[in-house]
Amino acid sequence: MTDCASCVVRNRAICASLNPEELLLLGKMGRKQRVKAGQTLLWEGDDAPVVANVLEGVLKLVVATADGREQIVGIVFPSDFIGRPFGKESPYSVTAMTDAEVCIFNRNAFDEFAGNHPDLQQKLLRRTLDELDRARHWMMLLGRKSASEKVASFLLEMSERLSGQGCQVGGTRNGFELPFGRQQIADILGLTIETTSRQLTRMRSDGLLDLPSRREIVITDRDAMEAMAG
């Protein structure tokens, strides 16, 4: 059982449309679960018995080729929803990039609950459409953009996604702390760590950003960064 009233992502999560009585019912169905960095919550192609809201941490969505090569196809942050309601198999693996905490629900019970609450179903539909838009953007990012465009696009997206997650540096959305390192950035973008580091160093030399530490980023020239991102 989880206390939805004190949930840290309550106002941003998929269940935000529910009234207090509905939240109480949903809370009785859920439980909090800690996920260690590197631990897989769902496996691609396997039965997906659970769905979950992300409370803390960052997880990646991964698909694999027949020979074992992997590609990160998405990243989820606090307040994001993971799993496949009204479906049986997971289309991707879900693995924690950092230590994380999720609010987890049995998928069948969640499906029944959502079927009785049209507002929640509408939020699920909007979530699906948002995911489709992100997938199209990701295809462009990975398939057509140069290394510099990939890194610039990624940093701009992170500045937006992390600005409300308590990861700000300097009090603005232009300054943020990444919850993962450069090797993971390289894995996300399909680059080598050497290429990723060179791009960050070049952007700092050109005055586009500052790097107070290995994970802190401050975008100092947002217009130039957006131009570089294409």
Domains of the chain in sequence order:
4-142 (2.60.120.10), 145-229 (1.10.10.10)
Average of per-residue pLDDT across 6-22: 80
* pLDDT score for 169: 54
| Percent of the chain residues past pLDDT 70, beyond the cut | 93
Helix axes 118-144, 147-162, angle to 10 degrees: 150
* pLDDT score for 205: 96
90-115: pLDDT as tens digits:
888 999 988 999 999 999 998 998 88
Residue 173 pLDDT grade (very low, low, confident, very high; cuts 50, 70, 90): low
Alpha-carbon Rg for the chain, nearest whole angstrom, is 18
192-212: pLDDT as tens digits:
999 999 999 999 999 999 999
Q: Which residue has the tokens 């769905």?
A: 51
Distance between CA atoms of 156 and 49, rounded to whole angstroms? 34
Mean confidence (pLDDT) of the chain? 85
**Residue 59 clears pLDDT 90, i.e. is over it:** yes
Distance between CA atoms of 85 and 75, rounded to whole angstroms? 18
Average of per-residue pLDDT across 49-63: 91
